[in-house]
Structure 1
Amino acid sequence: MSDNPVGTRDGFAIGARELLARAAAAELRAYKGLMVAVDDFFLPEEARLDEHSRAELAALLRSLVETVEGEIREHAVRLLTGRGESALVVALIEPGAPVLTRLWNSGLLRDGELMAELVARVGQEMLGAALPMSAPDDPERPSLINRFVQHPDRVVAASAMAVLIAESRRRTSPDTGQYQSELPAELHHKLVWWTAAALRERVAEPNEALDQVLCDAAQRSLSAYDEGDRLEAAAMRFAAAIDAQPGELAGMFAEALGDRRIVLFIALLGHALGVPYALARDLVLDPASERLWLALRALEIGREGVAQIGYALSEADPRRDLEKFADTLDTIAAIAPAEARAALAPLKLDPDYRAALIALERGGAK
């Protein structure tokens, strides 16, 4: 017989409550998992990310979070070490739940703008890598961007060199310590503060000193970040510097794609249309491509130029139907440039206004 039957019963009661709570949590977890599976099942095939895209997106997200985490943690540890806060230093550097896992579980990474940027960036990189290489007519002739590096106009030459530097930085592995998030400033700002907050949770008993240090480290990361260093921004400055004229555009488009520089192609298109890079990227990544064909005709790109671009993109993107494109090529070429410009006029409206119009349409009936 037990010497303390009351204590034993209490122990069993506590254990039972814990078990019931875990069972309830498991039921909710199973339900949520089922709903995710159902949503995935009913997704149209064209909207579903393929396995390669999912893997690339996961790798990009991991590298971004780990880069920002390492930057903030390193500076915070340095500040805490200088202040003799050894216990807080140990808490920050000892192994624990990864910041990425915490942000993932919190739902913060479901941010629509962040994921839209990352999905587009992954799509852009995959499309560029898959573009068919085209040998130049003159093997001795440098690539498009390298020719402009040697341009006598210093502004043009500097902008071309900036593109090459940004390309190199984009290819840098996160392990080198030179990697940057290369996110638009607003998204980088969000990621920095989310990461700082997640690092705070690693400390069992956070205090004012830790909060101040993490804020200082986050502010330092933000002040050192320059959105203008992004590859996309550098490419847009280059496109503005050369300001290709209508008769030059078709050749430059073909060269950019032949060099597998999809960012440069998008930047040239965006500058010529007078729209932001992100919008031009949307036109290029859309496998249906109707707006892209209109854009090319608005820029007075002829049948041959449209054919070259359509063929290159179809070869690089398995979602595009090359035979369907070939069947509609004559129809595309027959569109009058003025008619195409009129159809694309809404793209040049204020981005916030356009976003409001789209949001209103999503809202349903009037």
Structure 2
Amino acid sequence: MTDASATTQAALSAEARALMARAARADSRSRRAESASIADAFRAPEARLDDRTRAAFSALVSGIVGVVEGELSEYAARLLTARGATAAAEAITRTTAPVVDRLAAAGLLGDPDFAGECLARVRLELLTEGLPADAGAEGDAPSLLARLTQSSDRVVATAASAAMIGESHRRSLGEGRALSGTGLPSALHARLVWWVAAALRNRVGDRIADPAALDRALGEAAKRSIAAHDDDDRVEMAAMRLAAAVDPQAAELLALIDEVLRDRRLTILAAFLAHALGTDYELGRELLIDPAGDRLWLVLRALDVPREVIARLGFHLCEADARRDAEAFADALDLAASIDPATARLAVAPLTLHRDFRAALMALDAARDDA
């Protein structure tokens, strides 16, 4: 065999190996897609995402990942340029397929904590958008947050101002405004930052001469993003600070529910519910977005909320969420109204346990039932 033919054979072999690798990856993707389709076919109808929720969820995840990608790639490129690694700097900022596709293909975006937080956030926002414009109290009274910003109590006024700014920003995102941050809890933000850093490294690492310089720059950019993230800036935490500052008593909570409905601010209602229960924001939000609503009605009875207020809230939520059954709610309302608040408090006590403690107890109970 001549040198030319040997070179040609080697080239063909390399091309064949590359084609075989591509075919293997395609086969793997096909099998994953088939498995996902089969799982979806057997999923209960109430567990499937409707098109609107799916689109909003996809947009939120893409937006959050895009914010982190832009932040890390820009800062890492600055570091690389300053250190003379211009090829790596150009490679990391070159527009190619967004890293969200790589993270999704790797299954990272299906992380239960990350996906669960994003889905819960989307569901509450869609539920808020679906509330009737005339929900709650009547008249032209100022909004709850506007009223509280004028409070003579400086702590309440400051907390209300922060919540109003956060709510306004969150609402503007639904009107097409770009995200300026992830809005995630610190632990999830840090997890996402490292995912994105790894995806950026994976995207360009094989095309540069000195991947070690890229690794250092990405690591520094990731640590910078994590250090700059502040949980207190999240609208959810601003709402919790407001709830703690107002600290509504039982009678005050009834009026607040009507005002929140009128203003269509379910983030604030979730915080007030969580504060009244002495638990975290996530549980308050979970109670509102659960289409069954049984836990919410029981919690409201435990807080001594009367039937008519539960009815107003329940029927507005039914109107805002197509998954809810108004007739089933009417039946549940009769049952909830018949429960004594003291009995309801005993029933909801497990909900107030630490989230990890409660999850572990539920897992242990399920294992005991299966034994």
Q: Same fold (TM over 0.5)?
A: yes
Paired AA for residue 181 in structure 1 = T
Q: In structure 1, what is the equivalent of residue 153 of structure 2?
A: 153
Q: In structure 2, what is the equivalent of residue 169 of structure 1?
A: 169
Q: Which runs of 5+ in 1 are unaligned?
A: none
Q: Which runs of 5+ in 2 are unaligned?
A: none
State the alpha-carbon separation in 1 of the partners of residues 286 and 212 from structure 2.
45
Is the 8 Å Cα contact of residues 64 and 179 (structure 2) preserved in structure 1?
no
Is the 8 Å Cα contact of residues 150 and 157 (structure 1) preserved in structure 2?
yes
Paired AA for residue 70 in structure 2 = G
State the alpha-carbon separation in 1 of the partners of residues 10 and 66 from structure 2.
45
**Residues 88-97 or 146-155, more deviating:** 88-97
State the alpha-carbon separation in 2 of the partners of residues 297 and 246 from structure 1.
11
TM-score, reference length from structure 2: 0.91
Q: In structure 2, the residue corresponding to 1:116 is in which secondary structure?
A: helix
**Residues 183-192 or 249-258, more deviating:** 249-258
Alignment RMSD (CA, Å)? 2.4
State the alpha-carbon separation in 2 of the partners of residues 208 and 339 from structure 1.
62
State the alpha-carbon separation in 2 of the partners of residues 53 and 30 from structure 1.
25
Paired AA for residue 150 in structure 2 = Q
Counterpart selection for 2:244 from 240, 243, 258:
240
Once the 2 structures are TM-superposed, how far is the Cα of residue 82 of structure 1 from its aligned partner?
2.2
**Residues 28-37 or 268-277, more deviating:** 28-37
State the alpha-carbon separation in 2 of the partners of residues 3 and 228 from structure 1.
68
State the alpha-carbon separation in 1 of the partners of residues 128 and 57 from structure 2.
15
Q: Deviations over 1:333-362 (max 9, x none)?
A: 111001100001111222221111223345
Counterpart selection for 1:334 from 322, 326, 338:
338
Q: Deviations over 1:265-290 (max 9, x none)?
A: 11111111111110111111111111
State the alpha-carbon separation in 1 of the partners of residues 177 and 305 from structure 2.
42
Q: In structure 1, what is the equivalent of residue 199 of structure 2?
A: 198
Pairing of 1:99-110 with structure 2 (within 5 A): 99-110=99-110
Once the 2 structures are TM-superposed, how far is the Cα of residue 167 of structure 1 from its aligned partner?
1.5
Paired AA for residue 53 in structure 1 = T
Is the 8 Å Cα contact of residues 159 and 238 (structure 1) preserved in structure 2?
yes
Q: In structure 1, what is the equivalent of residue 82 of structure 2?
A: 82
**Residues 187-196 or 210-219, more deviating:** 210-219
State the alpha-carbon separation in 2 of the partners of residues 125 and 346 from structure 1.
27
Q: In structure 1, what is the equivalent of residue 353 of structure 2?
A: 349
Q: In structure 1, what is the equivalent of residue 363 of structure 2?
A: 359
State the alpha-carbon separation in 2 of the partners of residues 20 and 107 from structure 1.
23
Pairing of 1:257-276 with structure 2 (within 5 A): 257-276=261-280
Q: How many residues align?
A: 364
Is the 8 Å Cα contact of residues 192 and 221 (structure 1) preserved in structure 2?
yes
**Residues 340-349 or 6-15, more deviating:** 6-15
- What percent identity do the matched residue pairs reach? 47
